[in-house]
Structure 1
Amino acid sequence: MNVIIDHTQHLTLEQIMAVGHGEATVRMAPATRAMLTERRAQIETSITEQEFPAYGFNRGFGHNVDLSVKAEHLSELQENLILSHAVGAGEPMDATVVRVTMLLRANSLARGFSGVRPDLAESILALLNAGITPQVPELGSVGASGDLAPLSHIAMALIGKGKVTYKGAVMDSAEAMQEAGLEPLKLQMKEGLALTNGVQFMNAIGLVACHQLKVLLQSAAINSALTAQVMLAPDTYYRSDFHAVRPHPGAVQVADWIWQLMQDSPIRNAHRDFKTDGQVQDPYNVRCAAQVLGAAHDLITQAEKSLLIEANSATDNPILLADENDQYIDVISGGHFHGMPVAVQVYSLMQALGVMASLSHQRSVRFVDPKRNKGLGRDLKWPDLTEDENSMSSGMMMLEYASASLLNSIWGDAMPSHLFNISTNSGQEDHVSMGTGLAVRLLKTIPKASHIMAIELAYILQAIAIRKRLKTIPTETEIPEWVNQELGGLKTRMNGQGKGVVFDACVIREHPLTDAEKTFSPACETLYRIIGEKGLFPVVERDRYLAEDVAGLATFLAGGGIIEAIRENLELKWE
């Protein structure tokens, strides 16, 4: 893929992720380069001739705005800014996020409102195309006057300083640039500031997370369709005419996915008759799956929309606007670097992640509960175990514990940092977003949710194998009146000891199924077959070590594996 930076066009999420993954080259449109060159000349002439004070051009930064800087020191001012602001802490950020950050900053500069040379944006693109990725510590930004620390670490690489990753090795930027045939950039008036005045680091994390959450949500819909079938639930919860009377877009979309995935399911058809089924309503984790996951869908959709607006915006301070002669020399100081518009969307993604993880966990709880798993037995133990083997087996009990632990950890990660302001810069920057730290936590939380969903998928796979092994399915029927009479008589015969005692009873009958009736919808059978062929999670017939199998399932799921597997029968389109 060849991605074009064009001030008249918008980048899409697909283009952004292609660059982030190193699957695309990037170049600037000639018309954009010409526009940037023209506007740079306009502001240089204006400041030189009029000698007016302009923040970022010939004045200090932050609360040093009152300090003027001589013309011969303007380049040094910019380099000093970068060196002094590169104070990040923690582990290096994921390379994909750093590459997306670089693309977004170049795209912002190319909008034409920063007053910089085209060389600045093109130098960033040259690093991207060469595969040179700055080492950027994950922490240190308050997400307000730009992601100052992270973006300064990226800017250091442009001027031949700091550490980068190149061809799989960590080295000095100057060394990598020399090997790649590139020259360090000499910063000019305002250009150091322009490299750091934006929350592209936070926004990049948000977009990467958004892309990953879209994969997880569709995977959650697939898990939902599988769980509904193996738990002998109906597909009526997902009918389009049902959701039309409460048409939240996300719920409508997710219901349609689950509905399609459940069609032509022999096991569903085998208990479609109420006399066979006997089930009036299922627990919320199945019955309300479309509504719950639909809410996550709406959060992700809105976040993607807002984060792409940010990705295609000019974020800087000052911003240069046109005067009455259409010269871009009107220097406007403002707050187009503030992170709050992005922070609230990052938190929306955290909410969506929490919603998906919580629903998935509740299903895992149900799978190991013999009173609620529709005849699948205690802890999904293999039905062929002898009585002695059964008594010695834990089955898949412990995976539910692991799921609960991960979910609790996600809840801890979900603290709304953007609501806790800490004033910085001697009170000049007295309201900051704190969204970048939240975004970093979001990125680290996604694998936990993937693992929770993988645990649910492990339970589903074991449950399918058990369901195919069993000869019947249990169905509830009404309690005969004579049973109620017998229970009442038993209470009477307790000689006064029955006070406060309540008897409850139900009648469970076994409905026989043929082998053909114990199969699932075509898409789900394909997924079950492909996972089996890959050996990702063999049937648990005896207690064994499960951690590595579940980790493999998590990697497969997070990478879109189960989405690709069902695509042979059905493509889930995000609309």
Structure 2
Amino acid sequence: MSNTFFYGTDHLTSGICLAIAAGKIKGVIPPEAAENIQSSWEEVKKIVLSQQPVYGVNTGFGPLCDTHISEKDTSLLQINILKSHSVGVGNPIPQEIAKIMMITKVQALAQGYSGISPVTLDRIIWHIDHDIIPVVPEKGSVGASGDLAPLSHLFLPLIGLGEVFHKGERIKSSQVLEEYGLAPVSLGPKEGLALINGTQFILAFAVKAVERLNNALDAADIIGAMSLEGLTGSTRPFDERLHQLRPYKGTKLVAARLSALLEGSEIGRSHIGCSRVQDPYSIRCMPQVHGASRNAWLHLKELTEIELNSVTDNPIIFSAEDSISGGNFHGQPLAMALDYVTVAAAELGNIADRRCYLMNEGKYGLPKLLTADAGLNSGLMIPQYTTAALVTENKTLCFPASADSVPTSLGQEDHVSMGSISGRKLHQVIDNLEYIQAIELLYASQAMEFRRPLLSAPIIEACHQLVRKHVPVIEDDRIFADDINQLHQLLTSGILLKTANENAQLNHINLKSDDEFRIY
């Protein structure tokens, strides 16, 4: 992967976008894109001189699209739209999400169909490069006509208004500009509209969800395999021949990963030929359930990548004589996928909770509640209450926001996507999922203790040893919230996945997926 990304000409992926946000890759405007940007900017100036009515260039906005704006007021119009549309409420979105919004907006504008000036684009890149991140409230977008409110807040700092996060502080944008000896940008015709028309709020949440859910999917297979070992489950349902008969991509991938994770397990060999005919679904059907969630993730990743390389503002400027007022700003393509993937994420938590319950029941040679001294000790009775609560909370978050539409702009914008809500809800579900997975990891690692001295396969043993470095074996009751938080940190920091992948390389085990399942 190159250390430089060329806005407007290179193909942007979720992984590259995240790497730019992390400062691992630098995004620049190449000469070809600079020429297209300048050309589009010149075409907009021609429109102003020609007096030809073009939406948002020399007309008002929304239901005011029939109101003519004089040539001398075209710049003021663009400043006013940033001010009047900054109506977001609630807590600020994460700084990383705001930064991704800027990166994705530059990629869209740099393609040369938006009439943005090179100076304005350079200033946005300056914000990205210097990690000076605008404060963007989380609520207020209906996900059509662009993410108007959040994008307005995102770009207020260009004109010296609003607030930014800088060096760990939240301060006024004007203060930062003064510190760096910069003047506010003077917006020209169409620039304000070009900045705030687009799907970058929805898109930024989608990009981050692609990464977070990918990690959760990988963790689900590892933790599920540990649970299987604790329950002395069978690996026969992961046989490649079975899944060639129903060849969904996600299902085949999960079956192959589970087989690789469990290859060579002493625990597995110890019960070959036992009397148990088949395992409960939460063990036996991991390829089908985890795999279905992977299929949904793959769909989101593909659509997100299309959006990352699209032009989503309005109107689109092909030339001074040829501009189109269309609907590329409508968030429905991503909104529906985000809602679908919300269900996929919730289902990963649902099946994990079932495995926790199963390990508590006292079946398959495990003690009830995974404690040798049940009665005096409650053991792992109550953590499953937490998974049950989180699973139910996730179910309440699964109602699709994109199934609703409230008309806005006096009926001019009479169907909207609500995709901004879809994106935020998905992250709430993933937040809960990560805690559910931490709790299953607590259960699975404890269940494996009752299979000693038998060992599992190398990757599973490495993950189990990692758990034990942070969470000791449970012998007596203690404050299990501390254990859950420790394991949550192992998951969200990527340490568990890193341990699994490094051990796989050491043992020449292939856990890598096909290119289409990677985010770069």
Per-residue deviation, residues 343-380 of structure 1 (Å, max 9, x unmatched): 0111122011111010101001111111x3x1111100
Q: Distance in 2 between matches of 1:401 and 1:89?
A: 34
Per-residue deviation, residues 59-104 of structure 1 (Å, max 9, x unmatched): 1000001111111111111000000000001000001111001111
User: Which of 308, 322, 334 is 1:330 aligned to?
Assistant: 322
Match for residue 346 of structure 2?
354
Larger Rg: 1
Q: Distance in 1 between matches of 2:65 and 2:361?
A: 65
Contact 2:39 2:112 in 1 (8 A): no
State the number of aligned residues.
508
- Identity among equivalent positions (%) equals 34
User: Which of 361, 372, 396 is 1:369 aligned to?
Assistant: 361
* 1:401 matched to 2:385: yes
Contact 2:228 2:283 in 1 (8 A): yes
* 1:539 matched to 2:478: no
Structure-2 change in CA distance of 1:141 and 1:268 (3 Å)? same
Q: Distance in 2 between matches of 1:433 and 1:42?
A: 31
The secondary structure found in structure 1 opposite 2:33 is helix
The secondary structure found in structure 1 opposite 2:451 is helix
Q: Distance in 2 between matches of 1:112 and 1:297?
A: 35
Match for residue 313 of structure 1?
310
Match for residue 223 of structure 1?
223
Contact 1:210 1:349 in 2 (8 A): no
Q: Distance in 2 between matches of 1:198 and 1:353?
A: 26
**Match of 1:168, as an amino acid?**
G
User: Which residues in structure 2 correspond to 1:110-509 (within 5 Å)?
Assistant: 110-272=110-272, 274=273, 277-321=274-318, 327=319, 329-370=321-362, 372=363, 374-381=364-371, 383=372, 385=373, 390-468=374-452
Unaligned runs of 5+ in 2: 505-509, 515-520
Q: Distance in 2 between matches of 1:177 and 1:289?
A: 54
Report the CA distance between 1:572 and its aligned residue: 2.6
Q: Distance in 1 between matches of 2:292 and 2:84?
A: 43
Contact 2:46 2:320 in 1 (8 A): no
Q: Distance in 1 between matches of 2:246 and 2:256?
A: 14
The secondary structure found in structure 2 opposite 1:410 is helix
Q: Distance in 2 between matches of 1:180 and 1:292?
A: 53
Q: Distance in 1 between matches of 2:240 and 2:182?
A: 57
**Match of 1:245, as an amino acid?**
L
Q: Distance in 1 between matches of 2:184 and 2:321?
A: 28
Match for residue 18 of structure 1?
19
Structure-2 change in CA distance of 1:406 and 1:41 (3 Å)? same
The secondary structure found in structure 2 opposite 1:304 is helix
Match for residue 562 of structure 1?
496
**Match of 1:417, as an amino acid?**
A
Report the CA distance between 1:46 and its aligned residue: 4.3
Contact 2:60 2:69 in 1 (8 A): yes
Contact 1:108 1:315 in 2 (8 A): yes
Contact 1:3 1:15 in 2 (8 A): no
Per-residue deviation, residues 387-446 of structure 1 (Å, max 9, x unmatched): xxx421101100010110011111111111110111111110000001101211222221
Report the CA distance between 1:124 and its aligned residue: 1.1
Q: Distance in 2 between matches of 1:4 and 1:20?
A: 12
Unaligned runs of 5+ in 1: 322-326, 469-514
Contact 1:144 1:339 in 2 (8 A): yes
The secondary structure found in structure 2 opposite 1:171 is strand
Report the CA distance between 1:328 and its aligned residue: 5.8
Report the CA distance between 1:47 and its aligned residue: 3.7
Q: Distance in 2 between matches of 1:47 and 1:456?
A: 62
Report the CA distance between 1:181 and its aligned residue: 4.5
Structure-2 change in CA distance of 1:22 and 1:7 (3 Å)? closer
The secondary structure found in structure 2 opposite 1:467 is coil
Report the CA distance between 1:466 and its aligned residue: 2.3
Report the CA distance between 1:467 and its aligned residue: 2.2
Per-residue deviation, residues 158-184 of structure 1 (Å, max 9, x unmatched): 111101100000101121133245432
Structure-2 change in CA distance of 1:360 and 1:210 (3 Å)? same
Match for residue 572 of structure 1?
511
Per-residue deviation, residues 113-145 of structure 1 (Å, max 9, x unmatched): 112222222211110101100010000000010
Q: Distance in 2 between matches of 1:141 and 1:361?
A: 34
Contact 1:317 1:333 in 2 (8 A): yes
The secondary structure found in structure 2 opposite 1:569 is helix
Q: Distance in 1 between matches of 2:313 and 2:321?
A: 15
Report the CA distance between 1:55 and its aligned residue: 0.6
Q: TM-score, normalised by structure 2?
A: 0.95
Per-residue deviation, residues 181-204 of structure 1 (Å, max 9, x unmatched): 543211100000000111110111
* 1:8 matched to 2:5: no
Give the root-mean-square deviation of aligned CA atoms: 1.4
Match for residue 472 of structure 1?
none
Contact 1:134 1:153 in 2 (8 A): yes
Q: Distance in 2 between matches of 1:280 and 1:191?
A: 67
Match for residue 512 of structure 1?
none
Contact 2:407 2:416 in 1 (8 A): yes
Moved more, 402-411 or 180-189: 180-189
Q: Distance in 2 between matches of 1:532 and 1:46?
A: 68
Contact 1:6 1:28 in 2 (8 A): yes
Q: Distance in 1 between matches of 2:182 and 2:205?
A: 28
